[in-house]
């Protein structure tokens, strides 16, 4: 076997390296090697990362001492799967006890280069501390993934996501810089900014674009209002993270049809930055590949946190292989997905999430014994003729019964909606397999997301969080 390129911990990538322009791969060996050989190398790395975390953070030391686990015990996958998962609640507690970054910071605080955080408007925020060397490694990892998407040096990359605490935009920017692209850090979220984005996109004609999927659809609507066809932007690739969408078939198609670009899904969690470690590629554009030599991804049973076999559904659990500032070791995501191992058209030998990440376990709507993912409603409505582009799902308890109300926009004028209401309501009901009360409202009356969509309003007392 040829040596895995720059495979060492702590990691330091050659900052001048760029692949041969004719190569579809950044690191041909690491990306196309026999997965069993890669996994064997990863297992050794996991032990190294755990040794490092155990000796540098009281968080990991206490957590593993409590279950009598030593990093040296991790000599098999069975042993690794017994490493207790890290939860978001534990991290919040750690940061409350050891402000501001918690006792899972493993590097010297003088090494911290960027501070980011959760953007949640409720509850205590969580701070992310990213080391200087980690930032470089993150840029390298994600440049490598952008290369796989078909982005090349000299391409202009338009970043249309919030530049604030959110790591998505910064991660895309630093990756594009490392790839020697031209970055346009446009941002999002300020008054009138979407209309200005349309002007800039039409003028600059970037090759690549990054945002949340909801925001791309919003941008297409605004462009239409300005009488500009988004295809005129000439985008080659659009990569998305932050929420389900790019792997939801009808959402993906709506973006592809509007912009005429290849749609790429990527993204894990901010804590897991390099968050693009789950990402599609140019030649394997559907779903997301799990770049197992950057971050170790497991899909696990949500109760036992043992991995489920390929072909099955579970919750992603993530482990950093290269971070030294706040390495996450078996971070429980609380998301849902399904994984498979098959031949990928791009030749990379990574497992794949063929339907992306469909949503969060706690966003799943439990109604009368059935489970409904909000993304299924989105998927259905997007392919309905005369749909106005936005909707809301209201879950309410009436008497002793749960009721699901879907309120969707239509472009049809009031008075001509009878067939639309009847057909969409019954179609949605048979698609979801639960009873739905359907209501149509005027187009452009429901709020559009500038960041991640929040379409579910759960009015039931017992589910209030
Ligand atoms: C996704 C996806 C996806 C994230 N498909 N759901 O954007 C990546 C990072 C920066 C991010 O969004 O992190 P954040 O704010 O911590 O949110 C993570 C959650 O976002 C994750 O647990 C998922 O529920 C969701 N998410 N990318 C579906 N491509």
The pLDDT tens digits of the residues spanning 101-139 come to 999 999 999 999 999 999 766 678 899 999 999 999 999
Q: What does R_g of the chain's alpha carbons equal in angstroms?
A: 22
With pLDDT > 70 as the criterion, what percentage of the chain qualifies? Answer: 98
Counting ligand 1 atoms within 8 A of each CB, the residue from 119, 247, 269 with the most, and so the one to mutate, is 269
Please tell me the distance between residue 212's alpha carbon and the centre of ligand 1 in angstroms. Answer: 9
Cis peptide before 10 (omega within 30 of 0): yes
d(CA 97, CA 159): 36
294, two tokens: 């950057």
In the prediction, which pLDDT does 447 show? Answer: 93
Based on DSSP, count helices (H) and strands (E) in the chain, helices before strands: 12, 21
For the record, the structure tokens of 272 come out as: 């897991």
Q: What is the pLDDT of residue 40?
A: 98
Q: Is 267 in the pocket of ligand 1 (CB under 6 A)?
A: yes
Nearest CA-CA partner of 330 in 321, 320, 319: 319
Beta strand residue intervals within 155-258, DSSP E: 156-159, 182-184, 208-211, 237-240
**Residue-wise DSSP of 16-50:** T----TT-S-SSHHHHHS-HHHHHHHHHHHHHHHH
Q: How far is the CA of 53 from the centre of ligand 1 (A)?
A: 25
Per-residue model confidence as pLDDT tens digits over 20-54: 999 999 999 999 999 999 999 999 999 999 999 99
Residue nearest to atom 6 of ligand 1 (CA): 243
Q: Nearest 5°: phi and psi at 242? A: 105, -25
Q: By alpha-carbon position, which residue is closest to atom 1 of ligand 1?
A: 243
Mutate to test the pocket of ligand 1, among 268, 273, 339, 456 (most ligand atoms within 8 A of CB): 268
For residue 334, which atom of ligand 1 is closest to its CA?
A: 22
Cα-to-centroid distance, 452 and ligand 1 (Å):
9
Considering only CA atoms, which of 326, 230, 342 is closest in space to residue 286? 342
Whether the CB of 363 sits within 6 Å of ligand 1: no
Q: Which ligand 1 atom is at minimum distance from the Cα of 119?
A: 15
pLDDT (tens digit per residue) in 277-328: 999 999 999 999 999 999 999 999 999 999 999 999 999 999 999 999 999 9
Q: Identify which of 88, 141, 243, 255 to mutate to test ligand 1's pocket (most ligand atoms within 8 A of the CB).
A: 243
Query: Which has more confidence, 118 or 171?
Result: 171
> What is the residue with the minimal CA distance to atom 21 of ligand 1?
269
Contact (Cβ atoms closer than 8 angstroms) between residue 332 and residue 87: yes
Assign residue 6 a region: left if phi > 0, alpha if psi is -120 to 50, beta otherwise?
left
Strand intervals (E) in 195-293: 208-211, 237-240, 262-265, 278-279, 288-290
Give the lowest-confidence range in 4-18, 156-170, 359-373: 359-373
Helix (H) / strand (E) element for 338: namely strand 335-338
Atom of ligand 1 nearest to the CA of 265: 29
Q: From the CA of 268, how far away is ligand 1's center (Å)?
A: 5
CA of 243 to the centre of ligand 1 (A): 5
Cα-to-centroid distance, 72 and ligand 1 (Å): 32
The answer to whether the CB of 144 falls within 8 A of the CB of 27 is: yes
Of the pLDDT bands very low, low, confident and very high (cuts 50, 70, 90), residue 265 is: very high
CB of residue 270 inside a 6 A radius of ligand 1: yes
Only one residue has tokens 């207790």, namely: 84
In this predicted structure, the answer to whether residue 354 has a pLDDT above a threshold of 80 is yes
Cβ–Cβ under 8 Å, residues 311 and 338: yes
Question: Per-residue pLDDT averaged across 343-349, rounded?
Answer: 98
Q: What is the ipTM of this complex?
A: 0.99
Q: 43 exposed, middle or buried (CB, 10 Å; 0-12, 13-18, 19+)? A: middle
Residue 366 banded pLDDT, cuts 50, 70, 90: confident
**Does residue 213 line the site of ligand 1, with CB under 6 A?**
no
How far does the centroid of ligand 1 lie from the alpha carbon of residue 269, in Å? 5
Mean pLDDT within 247-267: 98
With H, G, I as helix, E, B as strand and everything else as coil, classify residue 216: helix
In the chain, what are the domains?
1-359 (3.40.50.12780), 364-463 (3.30.300.30)
Torsion angles phi and psi, residue 422, rounded to 5: -65, -50
Nearest to 280 by CA among 267, 299, 296, 293: 267
Task: Give me the pLDDT at residue 465, please.
Answer: 46
Determine contact, residues 235/259, Cβ cutoff 8 Å.
Answer: yes
Rounded to the nearest angstrom, the distance between the alpha carbon of 267 and the centre of ligand 1 is 6
CA terminus-to-terminus distance, the chain: 52
Q: 168 CB less than 6 Å from ligand 1? A: yes
* Cβ-contact 258, 220 below 8 angstroms: yes
Does any ligand 1 atom lie closer than 6 A to the CB of residue 241?
Answer: yes
378 close to ligand 1 (CB < 6 Angstrom): no
Atom of ligand 1 nearest to the CA of 363: 24
Distance 360 CA to ligand 1 centre (A): 9
**Residues with Cβ within 8 Å of residue 345, at least 6 apart in sequence:** 283, 284
Output the CA angle 235-239-244, nearest 5 degrees: 135
Which atom of ligand 1 has the smallest separation from the CA of 171? Answer: 10
Helices (DSSP H) in 33-119: which residue ranges? 35-56, 58-65, 77-80, 88-97
DSSP 204: H
**Is the confidence at residue 426, as pLDDT, over 60?**
yes
Quote the mean pLDDT of the chain: 96
179-231 tens-digit pLDDT = 999 999 999 999 999 999 999 999 999 999 999 999 999 999 999 999 999 99
Can you read off the two tokens belonging to residue 453? 């969509």
Rounded Cα gap, residues 108 and 460, in angstroms? 46
Cα(28)–Cα(24) distance, rounded to whole angstroms? 8
């Amino acid at each position: 076997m040829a040596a895995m390129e720059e495979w060492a911990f702590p990691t330091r990538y050659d900052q001048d390296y760029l692949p041969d322009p004719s190569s579809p791969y950044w690191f041909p060996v690491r990306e196309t090697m026999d997965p069993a050989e890669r996994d064997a190398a990863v297992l050794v790395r996991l032990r190294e990362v755990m040794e490092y975390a155990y000796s540098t953070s009281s968080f990991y030391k206490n957590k593993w001492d409590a279950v009598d686990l030593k990093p040296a015990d991790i000599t098999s996958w069975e042993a690794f799967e017994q490493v207790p998962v890290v939860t978001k609640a534990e991290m919040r507690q750690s940061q409350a006890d050891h402000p501001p970054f918690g006792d899972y910071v493993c590097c010297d605080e003088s090494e911290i280069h960027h501070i980011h955080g959760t953007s949640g408007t409720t509850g205590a925020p969580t701070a992310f501390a990213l080391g200087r060397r980690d930032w470089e490694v993150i840029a390298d990892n994600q440049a490598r993934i952008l290369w796989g998407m078909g982005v090349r040096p000299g391409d202009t990359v338009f970043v249309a996501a919030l530049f604030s605490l959110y790591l998505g935009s910064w991660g895309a920017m630093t990756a594009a810089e490392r790839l020697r692209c031209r970055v346009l850090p446009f941002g999002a979220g300020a008054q009138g900014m979407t209309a200005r984005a349309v002007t800039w996109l039409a003028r600059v004609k970037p090759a690549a674009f990054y945002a949340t999927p909801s925001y791309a659809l919003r941008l297409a609507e605004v462009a239409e209002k300005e009488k500009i066809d988004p295809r005129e932007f000439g985008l080659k690739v659009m990569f998305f993270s932050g929420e389900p969408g790019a792997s939801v078939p009808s959402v993906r198609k709506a973006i592809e049809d509007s912009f005429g670009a290849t749609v790429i899904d990527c993204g894990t969690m901010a804590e897991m930055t390099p968050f693009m470690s789950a990402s599609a590629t140019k030649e394997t554009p559907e779903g997301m590949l799990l770049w197992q030599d950057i971050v170790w991804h497991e899909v696990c049973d949500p109760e036992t946190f043992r991995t489920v076999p390929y072909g099955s559904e579970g919750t992603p659990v993530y482990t950093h292989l290269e971070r030294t500032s706040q390495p996450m070791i078996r971070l429980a995501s609380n998301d849902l997905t399904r994984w498979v191992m098959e031949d990928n058209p791009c030749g990379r030998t990574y497992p794949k999430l063929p339907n992306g990440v469909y949503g969060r376990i706690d966003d799943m709507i439990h109604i009368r014994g059935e489970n409904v993912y909000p993304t299924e409603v989105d998927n259905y409505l997007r392919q309905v003729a005369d749909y106005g582009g936005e909707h809301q799902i209201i879950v309410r308890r009436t008497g002793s019964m749960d009721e699901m109300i879907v309120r969707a926009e239509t472009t049809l004028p009031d008075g001509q909606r009878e067939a639309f209401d009847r057909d969409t309501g019954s179609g949605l009901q048979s698609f979801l397999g639960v009873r739905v009360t359907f209501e149509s409202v005027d187009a452009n009356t429901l709020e559009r997301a500038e960041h991640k969509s929040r379409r579910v309003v759960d009015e039931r007392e017992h589910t209030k969080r």
